[in-house]
Amino acid sequence: MVCSQCENAYCMQVCPVDAITRSPEGVVRIDAEQCIGCALCIQYCPVNMVHLDPDTKKAVKCELCQGDPACVAACPTGALVFAASPAKEQNPHD
């Protein structure tokens, strides 16, 4: 399952140490160095994308492979594509 990169990302809003941020490209990312493993992001993610890494006990989620999703590259039928959402493309305030 691919993270929705929610525009109003609850995981980012509830993080008590600001370990979850949005990159300039719009990717919601978790900084493992800052993460304290409190799991609030897991509780608030509406699509159950955030999980605790069993080894590090830190939050992890799909980060679109920093803009080059491996799932898209590996899809044998070409059914997956990486594209900006229509709402982001048509923002009149840009």
Q: How confident is the model at residue 85 (pLDDT cuts 50, 70, 90)?
A: low
Instruction: Give the distance from CA 11 to its chain's centroid.
Output: 9
By the 8 A CB rule, do 72 and 36 touch? no
- Quick: pLDDT tens for 17-29: 999 999 988 899 9
Q: Are strands 28-30 and 51-52 parallel, antiparallel or unpaired?
A: unpaired
pTM: 0.78
From the CB of residue 15, how many other CB atoms can be counted at a distance below 10 Å? 22
Which domains does the chain possess? 10-89 (3.30.70.20)
> What element of type H or E holds 60?
strand 59-60
Write out the two tokens for 81. 């594509």
- Quick: pLDDT tens for 36-45: 999 999 999 9
| Beta partners for residue 22, in sequence order | 28
